[in-house]
Amino acid sequence: MSERPTDRRLALTPEALQMMDTIARTGSFAAAARELGKVPSALTYNVRQLEEALDALLFDRSSRQAQLTAAGEELLREGRRLLQQIDAVANRVQRVATGWETQLGIAVDNIIAPAAIFDLIGAFYELRLPAPSRTEGATAATQSTESTAPPTRLSLRSEVLAGTWEALVTGQVDLAIGVMAPANPVDDIVCAPLGEMEMLLAVAPHHPLANEPEPIPSTVLARHRVVAIADTAQRMQARTYGVLAGQDVLTVPSLVAKLEAQIRGLGMGRLPEPLLRRQVEAGRLVVKRSEEAPSQIVLHYAWRRTAAHGKALAWWLDQLASPTTRRALLEQHAGLIF
């Protein structure tokens, strides 16, 4: 009669998996017994117990060497993977106990340059911490997988306008980059200035407004479709910028979609000057002056005060305190935009 699933799980202990690894690595029961500090008969008995629990033959008894069967090969392969995961969990727990968060949620407004964000993520993953002490008896396979990177898992989400702020105040993330400061302070939320971004009106060279005399009156702009990015807020009041009364609106999900729509002449709209600069140089868009004052938006980064004790968030805040980093987040619009 075969063992119940719970009995099989009880048989698959780290000790049993390490025993399989040692036998396969040393090539014989005798050598494995010496390394594990057991007598060969005790090791043979332990292997038979494991085989009975799994109802599977793990070693070919007709061979003089410790020859694995197909079932034994599978157990060895999966067993080594499980041992690595066990060691990884132990290391993560040990590092988290030193003050590193298990997870750090970051909301990034769509207007922020993604290249700069991924530079920061890369720098975070390159951090090296003191390696945890090796578990006594750990195998060479598990020791080689030890990592000294931070144990914190980063969770990145792209938001737009009020959606970025909402993600922070509702506790979905711990840090928000590219938010507009609220009119009134919010408990448990700290805001710091990121910088100003100039938003310029742009159209495709073949758009009707491309040849319109400047400055263009608002009454003329209102007769043409505007491209706007949808606010991702679900609970808060969604924001809309640059849309005139009665104006036709093409709503798109992201800055990259807005850029593409305007390049195709599907509408007009304001775009960040650093992003627009390359498109103008390439002849894909032209900048137009309107009667309205130039648009300057002031962006901030904000974080939850109660989360500020974690080492991962502290590292991000330290990077954001750098003027060079803040400038890159506002100006490094190159390559793909998420």
**Average confidence (pLDDT) over 240-252:** 90
pLDDT at 141 over 50: no
With a CB cutoff of 8 Å and minimum separation 6, the contacts of 37 are none
CATH class of 105-129+140-333: alpha beta
Domains 5-96 and 105-129+140-333 share a fold: no
Closest residue by Cα to residue 86 from 37, 158, 14 = 14
Closest residue by Cα to residue 273 from 202, 217, 215, 177 = 202
pLDDT in tens, 68-97: 899 999 998 898 888 877 876 765 566 566
Q: Which residues of 33-71 are buried (b: 16+ CB within 10 A; e: fewer)?
A: beebebeeeebeebbeebbebbebebbeeeeeebebeee
**What are the boundaries of each domain within the chain?**
5-96, 105-129+140-333
Cβ-contact 250, 267 below 8 angstroms: yes
- CATH classification code of 5-96: 1.10.10.10
pLDDT in tens, 248-301: 999 999 999 999 999 999 999 999 999 998 899 999 999 999 998 778 899 999
**Average confidence (pLDDT) over 153-168:** 93
* CA 14 and chain centroid, separation: 31
* CA 133 and chain centroid, separation: 28
